[in-house]
Structure 1
Amino acid sequence: MAILKNVEPDVDIVVTWVDDNDIEWRETRDRFKNSENDSEAQSDLRFRDWDLLRYWFRGIANYAPWVRRVYLVTVNPVPKWLNLDNGKVVVVHHEDFIPRVYLPTYNSRVIELNLHRIEGLSENFVYFNDDYFLCKPTKKSHFFKGDLPRAMAVSNSLSVGDNISHAMLNNIQLLNENFSKHHVLRESPLKWFNLKYGIAMLQNLALLPWPRFTGFHNHHLPLALKRSVAEEIWNREFDALDRTSRSRFRQFTDVNPFLISWWSICSGKFAPAHLKKYGRYFQLDQVGVAPVVDSIRKQKYSTICINDGSVPDLDAAKREIQSAFESILSEPCRFER
C-alpha cells in the first residue's frame, strides 16, 4: 500500500497595482479628490507608478516558482507586455470582487480588506503591494509553515499623529474587543516568547504588565494571509470593515490589512518567524536611492519594500532603480510576451 506524503497547501500571490498614467483613471479620481479633506491620503505619491512592474513579475518567476497563481489586482488596463495566455497569471479588476457599493475607491485599504472575495483565490495567499519586490530565491516555507502563516508575535507601543498610525490603533481596538491578552499569552506562550524573534522578544517582556494589547510589530513587507481569517473578521466586525470600505480615500477611522495578520496571531494560528531577517523596508525620502540600489544589486534581502517619497530627481531615481533590477533580473520571464 502506497504511503501518501504530506502535501503542502497551495499558495497564491496577490499584487495590487495602479497606473497613474491612465488618463481616464486620473480624471475619475480627481472628480472625487477635492471633496475629501485629507491631503495626505490624496497625495500623488500614493498613486504614481515607477515602471517596475515588469521586474516584480520577473522576481516572482525567478524567486517564487512554487506559486500556484498570481493575481494582478488593478483598475487600469494591463501592460501590453503582460502575457495573459500564461496559465499562472489572473487579472482581477476592482468590480470583479469588491462590492459595488464601495466603488470607485482610491483607498488601498478597501481593496486589501476585500481580497478574500477574489474568485478562485487559494485559502493561503501572500499579499504584495506593488512596491514589494523579491530579490533572491524564496521558499513557500518563507511565508507559510504548512497551513500556518509566518508572523511575529512581538508587542509594540503605538502613537497617534498620522493616518497609518491611526489605522493601526483602530486595529488594536478591535483586537482588544475580541481577544483577552492574558488568555492569548497563556494559550500560546512559546509563540510569544520565542527565541526566533531575537532581541525583539524583549519588547514582549517590557510590555507584559500592560493588561491589553498596545500594538504589534509592523514589518511593512509581504503579508502571509488566510481567506478564512478575513471572512471571520468581516463576520465579527462588519461595521468597522464596512466603514473603512466606504472611505473613498484613506481616513483616520480606517482599519488596515495588518488586522488580518494580527488576528491570526491572537488566535494562535500562526508560525513564529523573525521576518526582518528576510526583508528590508526603505522609505525613499528618508534613506535616498543609493541604499536601495545597493541592496538590489548585492541581493542582500529576499524581499524589499521601496516606499515612495519625495526625491530630488524622480526620473534619475527611476533609472537608477530600474538599472539595479536589470542587473539581477535582465531576462524576460514567462509572464511576459
Structure 2
Amino acid sequence: LPVFNSHAIETRLHHIPGLSEHYLYFNDDVFVGRRVTPEHFFFGSGLMKVPVSPLKIGIGKPHSEETATNSASKNVRRLLLEKFGRMTTNNFMHTPLPQQRGALQALEELFPEDVSRTTASRFRSPQDIAMTAPLLYQYALMTGRGVPGKFSFRYVNISRPDADRRLADLRRNRRFDFFCLNDVDVPPEEREQVSVRMHEFLENYFPFPSPFEKQEPGTGSAGSAETQS
C-alpha cells in the first residue's frame, strides 16, 4: 500500500471479513437505474447470471500500448486455455457484477502465482490478470457456476457529442436497470462543461438521498446525489 491498480484491489475483495458468499461488486461509475432484486443477478440455487458482452477481447499478445484491461483479459484467456483447453473471446458488461466468494477462492488456489503477482502490482501492468471479470466469469461459464444473464443496460461516454442525447433519454424513460457513466479521456477544456452536465443529470435522476448515504459533517442531511452516488 498504497495501491493504484484496480486489478490488484480486485484480487482481495473476497477476503473482506464478514462478506457474504454471494455479493455484488460495483465500479464507481455504475448506477442502478430502477428497482432491482437479487434475482437480477442470481438464481435461487446461487448460480450467477453472468453479464456477457457482445464485445470481444483483442487478438495477439498483451502489450503496453493497449489498455491494461485488454491485456488482463488476454492473460486470463491464456490461463484458461492452458487449464481447460478452451478459447475465450467475449468481454463482460460494465454493470453491477455478481460475485461468488467460493469460486474466487477456488481461482486463487488454481492460479496462485498469477493472483499473487497481480496483488503485488501497485500500478496497472500488461502482466496483470482481471480476477472479478473476466476470470471469474469465464471460469463460472466453463464449470457450471454461472450462465449468461440478460441485463437491461446503457453505457454513456460522458465526453462524447451524443452524451446529452443519451442522458436525456435515460432521464426521460428510466427504462434501463443499470447504466454506466464513463469519463473516457475528457479533454481539459471540456471538463467544466462535463462536470455541470453530470451534476444536473444526477441531481435530477436521484433527487432524494438513499438511507445508506452518509451525512455530510455539520449539515444534518445527506450530500447531493452527485457526491454520494
TM-score (norm 1): 0.56
2:226 pairs with 1:321: no
Post-superposition offset of 1:143: 0.9
2:73 pairs with 1:168: yes
- How do 1:223-238 and structure 2 match up within 5 A? 223-238=97-112
Post-superposition offset of 1:249: 0.6
Inter-CA distance 283–153: structure 2 relative to 1 (3 Å threshold): closer
Give the number of equivalent residue pairs.
202
Partners of 2:159 and 2:194 within 8 A in 1: no
Percent of residue pairs bearing the same amino acid type: 27
Cα distance in 1 for partners of 2:57, 2:210 equals: 43
2:142 pairs with 1:266: yes
Point out where structure 2 has 5 or more consecutive residues left out of the alignment.
61-65, 216-229
Post-superposition offset of 1:292: 4.4
1:129-185 CA distance string (max 9 Å, x none): 01001111112111111211101567845235332211110011111122233xxxx
Post-superposition offset of 1:222: 1.8
- How do 1:1-337 and structure 2 match up within 5 A? 103-146=1-44, 147-151=46-50, 156=56, 158-160=58-60, 161-181=66-86, 213-256=87-130, 257-258=132-133, 259-275=135-151, 278-286=152-160, 288-298=162-172, 299-309=174-184, 310-311=186-187, 312-336=189-213, 337=215
1:203-235 CA distance string (max 9 Å, x none): xxxxxxxxxx14223212221110111111111
Inter-CA distance 285–313: structure 2 relative to 1 (3 Å threshold): closer
Cα distance in 2 for partners of 1:274, 1:287 equals: 28
1:251-288 CA distance string (max 9 Å, x none): 0000112111221111111133233xx11222334455
* CA RMSD across the alignment: 2.1
Q: Report runs of 4+ in structure 1 exceeding 6 Å deviation.
A: none
Partners of 2:57 and 2:73 within 8 A in 1: no
Inter-CA distance 177–132: structure 2 relative to 1 (3 Å threshold): same
Helix, strand or coil: the match of 1:224? Answer: strand
TM-score (norm 2): 0.80
Moved more, 249-258 or 218-227: 218-227
1:118 aligned partner, one-letter code: I
Point out where structure 1 has 5 or more consecutive residues left out of the alignment.
1-102, 182-212
| Structure (1 or 2) with the larger CA radius of gyration | 1
Partners of 2:51 and 2:97 within 8 A in 1: no
Partners of 1:293 and 1:321 within 8 A in 2: no
Inter-CA distance 287–303: structure 2 relative to 1 (3 Å threshold): farther
